[in-house]
Structure 1
C-alpha cells in the first residue's frame, strides 16, 4: 500500500500542491489527470522524494519516503520521467541494466542474475529483440518502453510515470499504456501515472484523480470522475460524452473554437 497523506508543496511561498491525499494498492493503476500546470509532475516528484513537501508525507509500505536513503527508495519506487535523451551511446540492455544499480554495492559489477532480470524486463515490454541496439537509435515509443523496462528492473513496489504518452504517435500511445496496465496486474505493482487525455484515463485506469490548481478536484472510478460537468470545469472547454459498446469517450465540442 502506498499513501500520500495531506501533502502540500510550495515554490517560493506560492502553493503548488494543496493538501493532497490518495492511496494506491498493489496491482492498481491510478491516473493523475488534468491540464498543464495543475501539479501532476510536482506531485510525482514529491512521491519520489525528488521534492520535499511543505507538509504531509508519503508512506510506501509503511516507510516514510522522505526518510529513506536514495538507494532504499529506488528499491521501492521506479520512476519514468517525461523525456530522456542519453548523452552516451548505451545499448538498450545497458540502459535497462542501470535499473539494477540500487541493488549493487559501490563499484560492484552486475552479476549474471542482474543481466537476467534486465533481459526479463526487456521481454516484458517486448524489446528483447532490440537489446543490442543503441538506445539513441530507438524510436520514440521504443525509448519509452526501454525506460519502463529500466524501472521494472529495479523490482519496485510502485511505478511512477510522468506523461508516458508524450510525443508518441497514436498506436504507440495505446501500446505503452496497455503494457503499463498489464505490468501492474501481472506483477502486482502499484502504478501512478500522469496523463492529459481523459480517454486514455478511461481506458487504462482503475482510479482517476482529476486535478485542478494543485488540488484533487475529484477522485474515484473513471465513470464517476470523468463526466461532462467535471471535465468542462477542470479543462475549461465544452465537451460531449459519447457512449459506445465498450464504454464511453470524451470529445471536445467544436463550438468552443468557433
Structure 2
C-alpha cells in the first residue's frame, strides 16, 4: 500500500492509493496514518477494505508528512562512505545517532524556511524507515518484521550550527520544517529490497546527489536493531538512515541554500518531494 496524509497543516486526513493509482480518503476507516494503524495487525486490517468505494481525494490538496503523531524522529549520521569522504569524516565503527524534534517534521511540498542568519543550510536525501511493530532490544535477524514501511526524508542541516563553534548536530538539524517526510509511506511488502533503491536530489535543476541505498555502511536491519538497544521503538517512529555524497558542503566550492532555491528529491518507488526556500526565520 501507498499511504499518505492530506489537508491543512495540523488537520491532515489519512489517505491511500487504490490499485488503479487513484487517491482515496481513509477517514471513514482509520483516524490517521499513525500508531496502531501501522502495526502488522493494523495494516492487515486496512488491507482488507475495498478502498475503491471510498471518497476521492481532491486534486491539488496539500500533502502532509506521510506519518502522523510521530513519537521519535531518529537520524543516523555519516552512514555512506562517499558522504564521509566529502565531509572529511571517518566512517564510524558504530552508527552515529542523533534526533530531530517533532517540530521539524514538514510536508513533502511545504516551503522551507532557513534559520535566522543561516549561511550554510544544506540538503540530504535519505531513506526513512517507519516502525510498525513496537520493540526494544530487537535482534537483527528479526528487525525487518518491525518495519511498517519506508519513505523519503530530506534531512536539512545548517552546517555552521552543526559543526562550527560549539557545534552540536542537533542545533544544525532541529529548525522548524527541517524534516520533510513523504509524500507516501510505502508498506514494506511493496519494497523487495530496501538496500537497492536509487536516491537523488536536485537544486534549481542541477543534480547534486545521485546515490543508492546499497552503499549504506550500516544496513536497514542492523540500524533498527542498533537503535532499539538504546530506546524502545514505537509504531510510527521514523529512522532516517543517512545520505549519499553530493551535499552542499561537499561541493568545490561549497554550495548552500538561499531564498528562492528549489529542491527536488526522490527515491525510486517511494515518490518525490519538492520544496522552495521561502526565506529566513523572522
Which TM bucket (shorter chain)?
Answer: under 0.3
* TM-score between the two structures when normalised by the length of structure 1: 0.25
Q: Greater helix share, 1 or 2?
A: 1
* TM-score between the two structures when normalised by the length of structure 2: 0.24
